[in-house]
Structure 1
C-alpha cells in the first residue's frame, strides 16, 4: 500500500473486524500505548466494530499529558521573565500546571514572549537572532521527538551558543509499560506499541518485557487498518497462549530502529528517573542531558533560581491519573464535558492533541456506559 486512503478502506476494515470476531473465544483486554492510536480508535469507531469480548483501554501514550505540573509551572515562570523567549510545541500552551499557575497561553496573553515551533532546531535560529535573550526550548515528547532535541543541543555546542537552553521533559515508553504491568490493578493482557517510537528506537527492548510478563506486544501504526491488524495479531497470540513481539508496521519500523537517530540520542542524553503526571516517578523513564551538555539545561542556569516552582496541586475533580493508566475511561469522570472541556481543562488529557479526554470530547460526547 502506498497511500493513506488505502489504510482507511472501509471494506478492508470490515474484513479485519470480521476476522477478529471469528478468532476470539473469550474476553481480552488490550491497551494501545499512543494517544494518536487512541484518537484513531475513537474517531473511526474501531472499538465499536469489535466483538463485545474485546475491551480496549488507553495508556499513558501522550507525552504532553504526562509532563509534570511542576515542569509546566517552571515553564510558565520562565516565560514570564522579560529576558526569556520560551519556545514550545503548540499543544503545550493550554496544558494547566498547578491551579494557581494557570497555563502558558495566559502568560502569552499578558505579554510573555512565547513562540510556537515545529522543530527545536528552529529555536537555534531564534537564539542567534536574539543574543540579548535566553532562548529556552520546552523539550517534550517520547523517543520520537528526542533526536531532534538532541541535534539542537549538539549544534548549539558546536556553535558555542550560550543563550540557548532546554527545559527537558522527554520520557521513555518501556519503563511506563512495566509500571502498568507490575500494578496489582493491571488489567492489560496485550499491548499495541507505538510505531513512531519504535521507528526511532526499534523494538528489542520490548522483547524482554514480553518475555518477563508473558504478554504479546504488537508494534503498529495509526491508521484504522494498522490498528485492526495489530489487534488481530495480538488476539491471535492471546488465543494460542503466545507472548511475543510482532512488527506489523514494517513500512516504518525495523527491529534495531533508526541507528543514526539513536546515536545522536546516546551522544547527548542519558537515562534518568522522570516524574509522570498522574503516575509519579518512574525509574529510568526519562532523558536528561549528559554532563558534557549540562550547560544547556535551563535548570542549571542562574535565571531559574528565583522562579523555582513548588510541588503543584491538582484538581480534586480530575481523574487523569487513572485515565492515563487505563483504569478508567474519560467519560467516567464526573467533570467530563461539563466542568472540564478543551477551553477550560482540569487536566492535560482534555487539552492535549493526543489526550484521551480530548478524543472522547471531540468524537463521543455521550453518557458513560462503563460502571463507575
Structure 2
C-alpha cells in the first residue's frame, strides 16, 4: 500500500498541475490510449483539474471493447455446444453479442467458467478429457504471453481437447489508424505502460518521427498520468516530437524479450477487425499454422455472419476519440452498465463505464 500511495500524493499532484498550468500557452489535444489511464483520469477528477487549454481524448485502448461482435457470437455459439467448456476472463461475460451475451448463454445452461489465467484452462482440459475446452483469449500485447504459454503447455502435454479463440489487438497500429483518421485532431499521445512493459518502446519511434507527434509511455496511477501529460505538453510547447518513458520504473527500451519470444513462437501478426472501428492492417495476433490444432477458429470451422452494431451505439466514435461518452444520446438512458448497448459501458477499461461510475454526470 505504501508503494501505491507514493503515486497518489495530493501535494505532488498539485505541483504537477501547477507546472502544467505554467507550461501550457495554447490549446493541445492529448490522447491517452489505454482505458486504464482513462479510468484514472476520470475517477480521480484529473480532467476537471487540468487547464482548459488541455483536452484529454480517450483512445481505443480497451481490448474487451474492440473484440469483434462476430467473435463474441462465435464464443456464444461454442459455449452453447454441450460438448464445450468455454473459459474466459470475467469482463467478457456481459459484452453484448448480436442477440445475447455470454452471461445469458450461461443462464441458458452453457458451461462457462470464469478464470484468472489461461493456464487454468489447460488444467480444465486435463481434468475433462471428454470435453472440448476453449479459452477466450482476448487482450493487447500484455496478455499474449500467457495465452501463448497455454498453447505451448497444451502441446507439450499432448492435449487434443484444448484450443483458444483469439482476439489479440496491437497498440501501435491503432495509434497510426487514429492519426490517419480524417476526423482526428490529436497533438500527442500517452502510450500504455503495461503494453510497453512487454514490447518495449522501439515500435513508437517511427510513429513519432513519421507523424511528428510526442509519445510518452505512461503508467496508470494519478501521478503517472499527470507527469505524462506534463511531459507531452513540454514537448509540444518546445515544438518537439519524441518518444519519452515516464514509466521507467517498469518499462525498458527493449521490453521483456523472453515474453516476446513466447508470443512469436505461437502467434503471427495479421490484419485485425476492431469492433466499432473496422479493420486495421497488421494490428492483431493470429495463431500460427504450426499450432493450428489449438486455434478454435480453425478447429470448429464456425461460420457466423457479421451482425450490425446496435443502431443507437456510437462506441466507434468514442473509441476513436471523436466523441465523449456523455455526447451519446443514450448515455445513462438506454445504455447503462446493467443494460449496455455497447462494450465500452461494460468493461473495466471502457470509457463509457468510467464516465458512468465516476464523472458525476449520472444522478445517484
TM-score, normalised with respect to structure 1: 0.96
Aligned to 1:192: 190
- The one of 331, 337, 345 equivalent to 2:340 is 345
Conservation of the 8 A alpha-carbon contact between 1:337 and 1:365: no
Aligned to 1:232: 230
* 1:144-159 correspondence to structure 2 within 5 Å: 144-159=142-157
* 1:46-195 correspondence to structure 2 within 5 Å: 46-98=46-98, 101-195=99-193
CA root-mean-square deviation: 1.1
List gaps (5 residues or longer) in structure 1.
368-372
Aligned to 1:293: 291
Quickly say closer, same or farther: Cα 1:59–1:220, change in 2 above 3 A. Answer: same
- Using the alignment, how far apart are the partners of 1:247 and 1:29 within structure 2? 19
List gaps (5 residues or longer) in structure 2.
none
- Using the alignment, how far apart are the partners of 1:2 and 1:263 within structure 2? 34
**TM-superposition CA deviations, 1:111-164 (whole Å, max 9, x none):** 100001111111000000000000000000000000000000111111111000
**TM-superposition CA deviations, 1:255-313 (whole Å, max 9, x none):** 00001100111111100111000110111000011110111001112x444xx221112
- Using the alignment, how far apart are the partners of 2:339 and 2:250 within structure 1? 37
| Residue 2 of structure 1: how far off its partner (Å) | 6.4
Aligned to 1:270: 268
| Residue 184 of structure 1: how far off its partner (Å) | 1.4
- Using the alignment, how far apart are the partners of 1:339 and 1:212 within structure 2? 42
Aligned to 2:20: 20
- Using the alignment, how far apart are the partners of 1:2 and 1:105 within structure 2? 37
- Using the alignment, how far apart are the partners of 1:290 and 1:11 within structure 2? 50
Aligned to 2:354: 359
- The one of 315, 319, 322 equivalent to 1:320 is 315
Task: Determine whether 1:213 maps to 2:208.
Answer: no
**TM-superposition CA deviations, 1:217-241 (whole Å, max 9, x none):** 0001000000000000000000000
- Using the alignment, how far apart are the partners of 1:159 and 1:194 within structure 2? 35
- Using the alignment, how far apart are the partners of 2:122 and 2:16 within structure 1? 46
- Using the alignment, how far apart are the partners of 1:261 and 1:293 within structure 2? 18
- Using the alignment, how far apart are the partners of 1:211 and 1:172 within structure 2? 19
| Residue 364 of structure 1: how far off its partner (Å) | 1.7
Aligned to 2:251: 253
- Using the alignment, how far apart are the partners of 1:23 and 1:85 within structure 2? 55
Task: Determine whether 1:311 maps to 2:306.
Answer: yes
- Deviation above 2 Å: which 4+ runs of structure 1? none
- Using the alignment, how far apart are the partners of 1:283 and 1:313 within structure 2? 21
Conservation of the 8 A alpha-carbon contact between 1:78 and 1:84: yes
TM-score, normalised with respect to structure 2: 0.98
| Residue 71 of structure 1: how far off its partner (Å) | 0.3
